[in-house]
Homo-oligomer: A and B are copies of this chain.
Amino acid sequence: MTSKDLVIARIMAGQRRFQAAMARDRSSPFFSVNLTMQQLKILFTLRLHGGTGGQELAHLMGVSPATMTGIVDRLVAAHYVTRREDPQDRRVRRVQLTPAGDELIDGLMTAGEEHQTRILSRLSVDELTVVADAMEIMQRALAEDEAAGTEPSRH
């Protein structure tokens, strides 16, 4: 185990503790989601893909097109997605998140931000600067990671 590995392990342990503290916040939007798991999975999938055709979505979710029609019907009725004819191929129904759908996913993904902000507010300017530097470092590494290797694993 290299010294880099040790530091990484320590960082990840800290991250886990942080995550556990966030999870203790009972105001998580997760508890107020009133969708089924399949519906939520579909919303996340649409977020990942920026919208898909109906056939493709059925395939991604591993269900029949008939089933997907029903599910999308209900998501449209709930105003979380839109279903539109594809201009290039009128057979295809493009399914996309609405702003409300986006909001719901964002809310789940950014749960705990208030809590985090509150914790950051406790820090001095010097401390905040260290945290900000660390964030810059991580962003750069993330950008490199995406430029270098996520293309093949993207799909």
B134 to A21, Cβ gap below 8 A?
Answer: no
Q: Count A-side interface residues using an 8 Å CB cutoff.
A: 63
Answer yes or no: A66 CB below 8 A from chain B CBs.
no
Answer yes or no: A19 CB below 8 A from chain B CBs.
yes
Residues of B within 8 A of A48 (CB): 23-24, 26
A11 to B120, Cβ gap below 8 A?
Answer: yes
Answer yes or no: A91 CB below 8 A from chain B CBs.
no
Residue-wise, chain A 8-39 has the 8 Å CB interface mask toward B (1 for contact) of 10111011111111011010001101111100
Residues of B within 8 A of A141 (CB): 119-120, 122-123, 127
4 nearest CB pairs, A to B: A134-B134, A14-B135, A131-B134, A7-B128
